[in-house]
């Protein structure tokens, strides 16, 4: 009897968030309005050409490409939390899997749009499929990101099926919405056969998503590493990008955890222990990333080869020094030190640290893309001054913000449609703990 | 009389019948003759062969009925020019030699190029750079066109085959296909490519013109442009715009297969390999493995002083 009460409480607790309240409507309207402003800026870019950006013939990749790398990077978190931790038997991460998968799906889906926003001729996008050349890393990127998106969607959907059934039964919503939930739950009846099927397919996807996720960010790193440019011409770019991706993705999950926990009153399900554990995870991935950073800059900085020296001086003590050191310090070193203390692995300090790391992660991509473009092998001469040092414009900034708003919108909407903490898995865990007590 | 009168009547009838018979037989024979004749003509035409000369200078014989007139490029101009532009000139391997000892920064090459390709003043297919390699080495002027590499990093990364390498060595860009991703700009170590960030300045006057991939005119907003070795002029057997415009004898242009290059100023034709050998010719950044088709002769024995006002810019990147 007591057990049933607890189960009912869990179900109602976790379903509580699925309703339209005022705070949701205001937040949604705010995001929608902001998105319209940003899309207006993109309209100006379509009309007048990319001259509205701060880009030029030398720095021809800037904020948009940095943004693209950031988006692909953050989307990798789905693979780390749901697949790697799941397969290695880290049970504590189970309530976080859905958050991680929603973040992964949202960032991966929008990453494709980010790259279209960087195109001079977006209306010719289909040329990539009509005249596509397999030699070009862009083709590889398009292929693997599409695959990753599909797998991520499945990875979100399949474990969701039992919860969709619960939604159709327990939610206080109009009948047609109930029907949609019911149809989506694919006749789930909770038989042991069905349970086994879901368990197996989730496992297969979890295994399959690991190489695909590694591929999307490795290929993204090859967009840079496959050129002869100083600062990009590096053999460690693949793992360097992948480990960096885990840092920004973990930070994104921490921020999302904080807000979902607070707004949906999920303190019993996303507990301080979860923050403690994911704080330790952030320390681990940040340490690995710091190690790759050390390799990347130390080796070049020790040799100071002719053209690399120009770039290294620019980063260490030149135009980009403030940004470079801030990113390393506030985005990496300081969070590692702070998170070593248990007191700092509480929800609120973690939120602050998560935001610091995420902002740092965005500017880190900027530091990888822009300074290299500012220092080609041959000197930049006989061109306007603003082509030598890249300064993003307001329109460009708005167009960069647009995809971020889209991601927030997707996460907001998905979190309103499905329980953000898996109900059936939580119930199962409850059962196993009860059995263990006996 | 009556008999007389009857006689002609009788004869007339017989003759009439005979006549009918004759006409009938005649018609039959004539008809079959014409029929046979037509058939014969048809067969004769089918068997007729014609000789045609192919573009490869080969004399061939084909059925006349299979021969058709060449469609002159009018409405289908676009595809024709684009196809022609992709094929290149058979048997040629174009090269350029730039003699740095002659360049005095007159920039006539840049002006001629910008005019021919309808570029904005800040866009350069060819750019005369003020160079200094280290603190104690002399400064010099270095015109830098696209290097038309034999192992071009730009064409490898293009996702849509908009930029391509022709058999005659020239690297071109098809701005009807370019999606504007600018990966080629990122990949080019010589900074040889430019992008149409805004509406091109000549877009009004160029409106309706058929796009010529060998000239890259009309330029298009949101697409790449680059040095084309003046492929349109080369097709006509002329020297590139920049080469002809130079007043100082800096440029040689020609065919590696013929081992001959022509100076654009003096119109003197010399042996390509001998020119390189006698003057210590080299390529830019050979360590990148791009195999440029643009060769440089070192700024040895300059006939002019490097201008003082340019010294600061030339030495800008040197460690102080």
Nearest CA in chain B to A222: B157
ipTM score of complex: 0.92
Tell me, yes or no, whether B82 lies in a domain: no
What whole-number distance in Å separates Cα of residue B246 and Cα of residue B263?
10
Alpha-helical segments (H) within A226-271: 237-263
Q: In this complex, is the C-beta atom of B195 within 8 Å of any C-beta atom belonging to chain A? A: yes
- pTM metric for this prediction: 0.87
Q: A59 and A373 in contact (C-beta within 8 Å)?
A: yes
Are B57 and B147 found together in one domain? Answer: no
Alpha-helical segments (H) within A76-227: 77-78, 86-87, 97-117, 127-130, 137-157, 161-170, 175-184, 192-225
Q: List per-block mean pLDDT (blocks of 10 residues) for chain A, which spans 438 residues.
A: 74 86 92 97 96 96 97 94 91 93 96 95 95 94 94 95 93 90 92 94 95 96 96 96 97 96 93 96 97 96 93 95 97 97 96 97 97 96 94 97 97 93 88 74
Are B135 and B48 found together in one domain? Answer: no
Helix (H, G, I), strand (E, B) or coil at B311: helix
Tell me, yes or no, whether B220 lies in a domain: yes
When divided into structural domains, chain B yields a total of 2
Here the CATH number for the domain that contains residue B291 is 3.30.70.20
pLDDT attached to residue B208: 87
Q: B206 and B217 in contact (C-beta within 8 Å)?
A: yes
Q: In this complex, is the C-beta atom of B316 within 8 Å of any C-beta atom belonging to chain A? A: yes
Tell me, yes or no, whether B105 lies in a domain: yes
pLDDT attached to residue B62: 81
Q: In this complex, is the C-beta atom of B286 within 8 Å of any C-beta atom belonging to chain A? A: no
Q: Which domains does chain A have, with CATH numbers?
A: 20-424 (1.20.1630.10)
Task: Using an 8 Å CB-CB cutoff, list chain B residues near A379.
Answer: 129-131, 313, 316-317
Nearest CA in chain B to A51: B197
DSSP string, A194-215: HHHHHHHHHHHHHHHHHHHHHH
Tell me, yes or no, whether B320 lies in a domain: no
Are B15 and B127 found together in one domain? Answer: no
Query: Contact B160/A387, CB-based, under 8 Å?
Result: no
Are B112 and B34 found together in one domain? Answer: no
DSSP string, B159-188: TTS-EEE-TTS-EEE-TTT-----HHHHH-
Are B130 and B257 found together in one domain? Answer: yes
Are B134 and B250 found together in one domain? Answer: yes
What whole-number distance in Å separates Cα of residue A289 and Cα of residue A297?
12
Could you give the angle at which helices A237-263 and A347-374 cross, rounded to 10 degrees? 150
Q: B281 and B300 in contact (C-beta within 8 Å)?
A: no
Are B57 and B183 found together in one domain? Answer: no
Query: Contact A125/B130, CB-based, under 8 Å?
Result: no
Q: How far is A358 from chain B (nearest CA, A)?
A: 27
Query: Contact B181/A135, CB-based, under 8 Å?
Result: no
Q: How far is A227 from chain B (nearest CA, A)?
A: 5
Tell me, yes or no, whether B84 lies in a domain: no
What percentage of chain A's residues is helix, strand, coil (to nearest 5)? 80, 0, 20
What whole-number distance in Å separates Cα of residue A212 and Cα of residue A75?
12
Are B301 and B177 found together in one domain? Answer: yes
Residue A199, phi then psi, degrees to nearest 5: -60, -45
Query: Contact B124/A228, CB-based, under 8 Å?
Result: no
What whole-number distance in Å separates Cα of residue B13 and Cα of residue A435?
131
Are B59 and B121 found together in one domain? Answer: no
Tell me, yes or no, whether B32 lies in a domain: yes
Are B230 and B161 found together in one domain? Answer: yes
Tell me, yes or no, whether B85 lies in a domain: no
Facing A377 at nearest CB: one of B161, B189, B221: B189
Query: Contact B191/A55, CB-based, under 8 Å?
Result: no
pLDDT attached to residue B11: 66
pLDDT attached to residue A160: 94
Tell me, yes or no, whether B202 lies in a domain: yes
Q: Which domain holds residue B34?
A: 2-66
Q: Mind listing the pLDDT tens digit for each residue in B259-275?
A: 999 999 999 999 999 99
What whole-number distance in Å separates Cα of residue B278 and Cα of residue B276?
6
Are B198 and B280 found together in one domain? Answer: yes
A138, A381, A384, A390: which to substitute to probe chain B, counting the most B Cβ within 10 Å?
A381
Helix (H, G, I), strand (E, B) or coil at A338: helix
What whole-number distance in Å separates Cα of residue B221 and Cα of residue B118?
12
Task: Using an 8 Å CB-CB cutoff, list chain B residues near A120.
Answer: 178-182, 195-196, 221-223
Are B58 and B136 found together in one domain? Answer: no
Taking only the tens of pLDDT, chain B with its 320 residues reads 444 555 555 567 777 778 788 778 878 887 787 877 777 666 655 567 888 777 667 788 887 777 776 654 444 455 677 778 888 899 999 999 999 999 999 999 999 999 999 999 999 999 999 999 998 999 999 999 999 999 999 999 999 999 999 999 999 999 999 999 999 999 999 999 999 999 999 989 998 888 999 999 999 999 999 999 999 999 999 999 999 999 999 999 999 999 999 999 999 999 999 999 999 999 999 999 999 999 999 999 887 889 999 999 998 888 75
Q: How far is A195 from chain B (nearest CA, A)?
A: 44
Of the candidates B66, B82, B111, which is a domain's last residue?
B66
Determine how β-strand B127-131 pairs with β-strand B260-263: unpaired
């Amino acid at each position: 009897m007591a057990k049933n009460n607890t189960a009912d409480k869990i179900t109602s607790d976790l379903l509580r968030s699925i309703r339209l309240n005022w705070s949701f409507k205001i937040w949604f309207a705010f995001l929608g309005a902001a998105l319209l402003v940003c899309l207006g800026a993109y309209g100006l870019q379509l009309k007048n050409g990319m001259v509205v950006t701060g880009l030029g013939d030398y720095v021809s990749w800037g904020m948009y490409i940095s943004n693209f790398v950031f988006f692909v990077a953050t989307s990798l978190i789905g693979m780390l939390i749901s697949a790697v931790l799941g397969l290695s038997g880290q049970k504590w991460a189970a309530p976080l899997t859905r958050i991680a998968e929603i973040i992964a799906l949202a960032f991966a889906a929008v990453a494709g749009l980010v790259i279209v926003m960087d195109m001079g001729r977006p209306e010719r996008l289909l040329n990539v499929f009509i005249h596509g050349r397999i030699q070009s890393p862009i083709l590889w990127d398009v292929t693997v990101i599409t695959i990753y998106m599909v797998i991520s969607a499945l990875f979100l959907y399949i474990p969701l099926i039992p919860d969709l059934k619960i939604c159709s039964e327990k939610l206080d919503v109009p009948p047609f919405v109930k029907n949609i939930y019911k149809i989506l739950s694919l006749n789930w009846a909770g038989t042991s056969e069905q349970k086994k099927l879901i368990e197996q397919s989730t496992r297969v996807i979890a295994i399959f998503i690991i190489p695909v996720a590694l591929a999307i960010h490795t290929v993204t790193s090859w967009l840079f590493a496959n050129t002869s440019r100083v600062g990009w011409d590096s053999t460690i770019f693949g793992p360097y990008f992948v480990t960096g991706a885990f840092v920004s993705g973990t930070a994104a999950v921490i921020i999302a955890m904080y807000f979902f926990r607070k707004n949906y009153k999920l303190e019993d399900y996303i507990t301080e222990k979860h923050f403690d554990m994911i704080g330790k995870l952030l320390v681990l991935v940040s340490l690995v990333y710091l190690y790759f950073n050390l390799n990347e800059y130390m080796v070049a900085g020790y040799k100071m080869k002719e053209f690399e020296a120009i770039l290294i001086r620019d980063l260490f003590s030149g135009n980009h020094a403030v940004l470079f050191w801030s990113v390393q310090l506030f985005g990496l070193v300081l969070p590692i030190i702070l998170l070593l203390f248990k007191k700092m692995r509480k929800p609120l300090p973690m939120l602050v640290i998560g935001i610091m790391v995420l902002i740092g992660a965005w500017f880190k991509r900027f530091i990888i893309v822009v300074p290299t473009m500012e220092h080609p092998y041959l000197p930049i001469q006989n061109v306007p001054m603003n082509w030598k040092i890249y300064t993003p414009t307001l329109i460009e900034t708005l167009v960069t913000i647009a995809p971020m708003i889209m991601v927030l919108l997707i996460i907001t909407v998905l979190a309103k449609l499905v329980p953000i903490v898996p109900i059936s898995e939580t119930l199962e865990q409850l059962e196993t703990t009860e059995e263990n007590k006996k | 009389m009556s008999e007389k009168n009857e006689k002609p009547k009788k004869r007339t009838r017989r003759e009439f019948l005979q006549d009918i018979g004759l006409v009938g037989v005649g018609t039959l024979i004539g008809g079959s003759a014409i029929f046979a004749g037509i058939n014969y003509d048809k067969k004769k035409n089918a068997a007729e062969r014609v000789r045609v000369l192919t573009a490869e200078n080969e004399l061939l014989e084909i059925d006349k009925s299979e021969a058709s007139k060449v469609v002159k490029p009018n409405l289908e101009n676009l595809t024709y020019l684009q196809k022609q532009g992709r094929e290149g000139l058979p048997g040629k391997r174009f090269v350029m030699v730039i003699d740095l000892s002659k360049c005095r920064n007159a920039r006539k090459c840049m002006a001629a190029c910008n005019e021919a390709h309808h570029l904005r003043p800040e866009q350069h297919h060819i750019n005369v750079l003020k160079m200094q390699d280290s603190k104690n080495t002399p400064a010099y002027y270095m015109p830098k066109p696209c290097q038309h590499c034999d192992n071009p990093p730009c064409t490898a990364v293009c996702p849509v085959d908009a930029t391509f390498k022709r058999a005659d060595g020239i690297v071109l860009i098809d701005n009807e296909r370019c999606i504007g991703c600018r990966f080629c700009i990122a990949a080019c170590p010589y900074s040889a490519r430019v992008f149409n960030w805004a509406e091109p300045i000549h877009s009004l006057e160029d409106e309706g013109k058929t796009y010529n991939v060998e000239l890259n005119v009309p330029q298009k907003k949101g697409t790449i442009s680059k040095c084309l070795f003046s492929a349109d002029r080369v097709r006509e057997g002329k020297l590139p715009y920049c080469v002809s415009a130079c007043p100082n004898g800096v440029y040689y242009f020609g065919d590696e297969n013929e081992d001959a290059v022509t100076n654009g100023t003096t119109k003197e034709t010399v042996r390509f390999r001998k020119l390189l050998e006698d003057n210590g010719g080299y390529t830019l950044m050979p360590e990148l493995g791009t195999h440029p088709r643009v060769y440089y002769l070192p700024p040895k024995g300059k006939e002019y002083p490097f201008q003082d006002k340019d010294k600061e810019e030339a030495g800008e990147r040197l460690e102080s």
